[in-house]
Amino acid sequence: MTAALPVVARQTENIRMFLPQTMIQTKRLLLRWWRDPLTMVQSLLFPALLLIMLNIVLGRQISAFSGASALYGSVPMVSLVGVMSGSLAGAITLGRERDAGLLARFWVLPVHRASGLAARILAEAVRILLCTMVLFAVGVALGFRFQRGVLAGVALFGVPLLFGLGFATVVTALAVFSAKAALVEAVSLGSSILMFFSSGFVPLVAYPAWARPIVRHQPMSYAIDAMRGLALGGPVRGPLLITIAYSAGAIVVFAIPAAVGYRRASRS
Burial label, 196 (beta-carbon count in 10 A; 0-12, 13-18, 19+): exposed
CB 91 within 8 A of CB 120: no
Q: What percent of the chain has pLDDT over 90?
A: 42
With a cut of 60, say whether residue 19 has pLDDT above it.
yes
Rounded CA Rg of the chain: 20
How far apart, in whole angstroms, are the C-alpha atoms of residue 214 and residue 98? 37
DSSP string, 59-83: HHHHHHHHSS-THHHHHHHHHHHHH
> The whole model's pTM is what?
0.89
Q: What is the pLDDT of residue 13?
A: 52
Helices assigned H by DSSP within 144-180: 150-177
Q: Is residue 195's pLDDT more than 80? A: yes
Cβ(216)–Cβ(235) below 8 Å: no
Q: What is the pLDDT of residues 226-240, one digit of tens each?
A: 999 999 988 899 999
**Taking residues 57-67, what's their average pLDDT?**
84
| 9 has pLDDT over 70 | no
Rounded to the nearest integer, the mean pLDDT of the chain is 85
Closest CA to 72 of 200, 168, 194, 186: 200
